[in-house]
Amino acid sequence: MVALDNLALVFVAGLLTALATGVGALPFFVFDDISTRWNVVLWGLASGIMVSASLFGLVLEGLAVVDGTWVDAAVAIGPGVVAGVLLVVVGHEVLEGAEVDPRQYEEADFKKLVLVLGILTVHSFPEGVAVGVSFAELGLQNVPAADTLVVGGLTLPILAVFMTIAISIHNVPEGVAISIPLRSMGVSEWRMVWWAVFSSLPQPIGAVIAYYFVTLAKQFLPFGFGFAAGAMVYLVLTEFIPEALDDGQGLPRNGRPELAAGLVTGLLVMIPLAFV
């Protein structure tokens, strides 16, 4: 059985990433608006962090747990990558045409709220899965000290610490994007924070489910790493970067320099994952 205290810890990590989305609303306590330039930079930063964390964290960790050749590792991880991409694709197909406008949060009836939650799950669940699988070595014996980090008296897998931080940073620009239209409606600052957090609530749920699954079925751990990496990279390529380019249309060169600066910074921030 999976220890309940471990499940609780993973849930808290996922909840922290959800709360980080609310940080995106905090600038509106001070400023009336966030400049387009900074918004594009933030989307680029989030994209770089997600891609870097997926490749240097999840994929490399998945390769490390496979006892065999690189071909064996690719065969073990590949189906997970494909499944992660398919989750996002199928989710979008099922919910096609059902765009979520944050304005709907304030006006949602029960049926609309279910739809909103469905769309948020498609977007946020894979990130929660990434957090959950990164905790796979939590509480295991004989884990090398170099692969752990002591935080608040708890010995945690270093990958889990990096991944929780990465998803949290990534969630900040999402919180900004959610808050902008709510601001135009005159929604109060604290309600903007709440709705930003609400948009990421599937993450702690996804984290617990993923951790429980890979703990019970260790042979599926490479699949879990691949699943999370595939889903996140696909989201970056099909949503985050296009969103940044859309936001930057009024900037010189359509905001590409700002996007590139954010991407490079995000990649560099997470490169240490390749060496832990």
Per residue in 12-59, pLDDT (tens digit) is 999 999 999 999 889 888 877 778 888 888 888 888 888 888 887 788
Indicate whether this model's pTM tops 0.75: yes
**95 pLDDT band (50/70/90 cuts)?**
low
Q: What angle do CA 108, 47, 196 make, to 5 degrees?
A: 25
Residues 178-225: tens digit of each pLDDT: 787 777 777 788 988 988 888 888 899 989 998 888 887 677 778 888
Residues 263, 175: Cα–Cα separation, whole Å = 18
Q: Do 170 and 49 touch, CB atoms closer than 8 A?
A: yes
Mean pLDDT of the chain: 80
64 pLDDT above the threshold of 80: no
Q: What proportion of the chain, given as a percentage, has pLDDT over 90?
A: 10
Question: In Å, how far are 86, 87, 88, 240, 253 from 93, measured between CA atoms?
Answer: 10, 10, 9, 18, 32
10 pLDDT above the threshold of 90: yes
**276 pLDDT band (50/70/90 cuts)?**
low
Regarding predicted confidence, which is higher, 232 or 71?
Answer: 232
Residues 155-170: tens digit of each pLDDT: 888 888 888 988 888 7
- Find tokens 């042979």 and name the residue: 219
CB atoms closer than 10 angstroms to residue 238: 14
